[in-house]
A and B are shown apart, each in its own frame.
Chain A
Amino acid sequence: MAALALVAANISFTSCEKVSPTGVLIGNTSVDDRVKQSMVNISFFEMAWDKMLPDTVQEYSFLVGSDSHITADPGRLEEMLEIGIEYGDLFYCHLGDLADTKAEYYSNTERAIQEATDKWMEKYLVPYVNEDGEPIVDTTSYIDPRTQNIYTLDKPSIFPSALPFYPVVGNHDITHNGWALYCRLFKSSFYEFTVRVICENDTSYDRFIFLDSANGTLGNYQIDEIENGFFQRDQKEIRNTFTFTHTNIFRPSLNEFASTYCREELYYILDKLADWNTTIAFWGHVHAWDDRWFGGVHHITMPSMNFVDHPNGGDNLLVRVTVKRNGDAIVEPVGLHSKERSKEELSENGYLF
């Protein structure tokens, strides 16, 4: 009992920049609150997550990272985004615990995304103008010469920018009133989109599902939405389904103490993934790599990409999934190797502490 009291006192009185003493114990928002707010935002902002994606693709790739826990230095996220632009990945997915929740850290995160957006637009988009340089639609319209898709960037979108960056919320994103910060940038913790793909002689869709499990549960409201057919409402013919959420199912080894779902919910989720005929389910939270097949589903649990766990980087801190024209999803590891910058360097470059 004395030891427990000592731990409690330590948590209560220790001041730490990265960890909220109360946030260690209690998240600020419930999953039901977040999903309700997400649904309102989806409606209010008329959000369409495929807005920045081409109408149709044949073969494409996307990058997945997890648990970046950004503080003053968002270098690993910057590196991830840079890799995607350089390689030509169609979009990015992030499995949560994006930043350790502090307004300054979210500012650094937003800056990383904004800078990558500028590079992404520079690479892919040109203003949609006629031969005389006059806007064809309006000044906020751009065209993607690869696809001839036209994008209008005048409405508030899910992102602070046009970058196709799709995160889910993690438990560290909801402490320190973090949901307010997260929600301002990304608007929703529960969403999906499809990518229209040209198969052999036909078109089909690949579905991407993003679930809020930051509290270690999907919660009543989200489960109701799932059971009421949130992901089947468009009646599309689905070729591949990919799911992304924060809290892991599989514990790679006995010394990983991150909590998972309660028993019954764990089996509910596994059964649901099998029911959706899921191609790959991505999990984060536990900061460790795990790759296995279960129930006909390929499960990949991602390592963290942050500087604390991997100060020297690593060769598999990200994965790239390449979806072939025949529908095969090929997974390959992608390394991150940037080093954490000094406080002086970060300060000189305007990053916030």
Chain B
Amino acid sequence: MGYAAAQYYSGDHTFDGENKNEASVSLTSGKNIIVGPCIGNTLHYKHYFNNHWSVDGGANLQYTKQLYGFKAKGEYHLKIKSFHMFASAEYMFNNYHRFNTTENVGNMSLRFERGYWDITLGGSFINYNMMGSHYTEPVTLTFGAHASLRPRTNHWNVGLLFRNYDDFYYENWNINWGVDFYYRFNPTWKFFGEFNVRPAGSMSQLASKYETTGKVGIIYRWK
């Protein structure tokens, strides 16, 4: 069954009209001020029910950080004129084993995409637990922006990112920035990577970085 969407759009993590399953594995390595050098893996699986609905599950295994987490996400995709809108709801659990802390995160976001850029706006609900104490932060604004050198339909791309979240965390006003890229070998295999700088604070606090990481991975799609 083909979808008209595939004729004009083939963005990241969007149903291409044929392959309903998508899995990825990536390797992350870098350094932060708390644990020093760090290395870990992330795993993702996504299933597209149709051009509108999808579900996504992921696992995060950061060995040197002793940080382990998983997440589940549901997403609704709608085309509005020349925009693609994605509404998502996500639950994430993290165990910061080194610091005896567990974290439960809920997030609801809207993402708007066009060929060369996308922006994300939403809210995060972050709860953490340590030594029998619990704290739920007030709702935190989620925001992100991404711009690409080439249109999304291109078989390769390089982009700039600016956001207060990553695959397995949501921050307050600690704003990440970095560069990402991909190379699509064919409709089923894609290589991707990212260089991410995580400053310690924002605005006038910006003189010390907290973390820098590099990530490379591969995505496979099948019917």
Contact B205 A271 (CB under 8 A): no
Contact bitstring B166-196, A, C-beta under 8 A = 1, else 0: 0001011110000000000000000000000
Query: What is the total number of residues of chain A having a CB less than 8 Å from a CB of chain B?
Result: 48
Contact B172 A215 (CB under 8 A): no
Contact bitstring A284-297, B, C-beta under 8 A = 1, else 0: 00000000111110
Task: Give A218-274 interface residues, CB cut-off 8 Å to B.
Answer: 218-220, 223, 247, 250-254, 256-265, 267-268, 270-271, 274
List chain A residues, Cβ under 8 A from B203: 24-25, 171, 259
List chain A residues, Cβ under 8 A from B171: 262-263
Contact B207 A223 (CB under 8 A): no
Contacting B204 at CB < 8 Å: which of A171, A250, A265, A292? A171
Contact A24 to B204, CB < 8 A, known contacts A262-B174, A268-B34, A271-B130: yes
Contact bitstring B57-96, A, C-beta under 8 A = 1, else 0: 0000000010100000000000000000000000000001
Contact A216 to B34, CB < 8 A, known contacts A27-B205, A247-B201: no
Q: Cα distance A215–B133 when bound, in Å?
A: 27
Contact A265 B33 (CB under 8 A): yes
Contact B138 A263 (CB under 8 A): no
Contact B204 A274 (CB under 8 A): no
List chain A residues, Cβ under 8 A from B99: 264, 267-268, 270-271
List chain A residues, Cβ under 8 A from B96: 263-264, 267
List chain B residues, Cβ under 8 A from A251: 137-138, 172
Contact A267 to B130, CB < 8 A, known contacts A254-B138, A259-B202: yes
Q: Give chain A nearest CB distance to B54 CB in angstroms.
A: 27
Q: Give chain A nearest CB distance to B89 CB in angstroms.
A: 19
Contact B200 A215 (CB under 8 A): yes
Q: Cα distance A264–B33 when bound, in Å?
A: 10
Contact B208 A32 (CB under 8 A): yes
Q: Cα distance A218–B131 when bound, in Å?
A: 23
Contact B205 A216 (CB under 8 A): yes
Does A31 touch B at the CB level, under 8 Å?
Answer: yes
Contact B205 A296 (CB under 8 A): no
Contact B130 A264 (CB under 8 A): no
Interface majority SS (helix, strand, loop, mixed), chain A: loop
Does A38 touch B at the CB level, under 8 Å?
Answer: no
Contact B204 A254 (CB under 8 A): no
Contact A253 B204 (CB under 8 A): no
List chain A residues, Cβ under 8 A from B198: 262
Does A107 touch B at the CB level, under 8 Å?
Answer: no
List chain A residues, Cβ under 8 A from B201: 171, 215-217, 247, 259
List chain A residues, Cβ under 8 A from B204: 23-27, 171-172, 174-175
List chain B residues, Cβ under 8 A from A152: none
Closest to A297 in B: B133
Q: Give chain B nearest CB distance to A250 CB in angstroms.
A: 7
Closest to B198 in A: A262
Contact B130 A274 (CB under 8 A): yes
Task: Give B99-156 interface residues, CB cut-off 8 Å to A.
Answer: 99-101, 103, 128, 130-131, 133, 135, 137-140
23 A-B residue pairs with CB within 8 Å: A25-B204, A214-B205, A216-B200, A217-B33, A217-B200, A219-B33, A219-B200, A223-B34, A250-B135, A253-B138, A259-B202, A260-B174, A262-B32, A262-B198, A262-B210, A265-B34, A267-B130, A270-B99, A270-B101, A271-B101, A294-B135, A295-B133, A296-B131
Sample of 13 further A-B pairs with CB below 8 A, known A215-B205, A216-B199, A250-B137: A25-B206, A26-B207, A29-B207, A171-B203, A171-B205, A215-B201, A219-B33, A250-B135, A260-B173, A264-B99, A265-B34, A268-B34, A294-B135
Q: Interface residues, chain B, CB within 8 Å of chain A?
A: 32-35, 65, 67, 96, 98-101, 103, 128, 130-131, 133, 135, 137-140, 169, 171-174, 198-208, 210-211
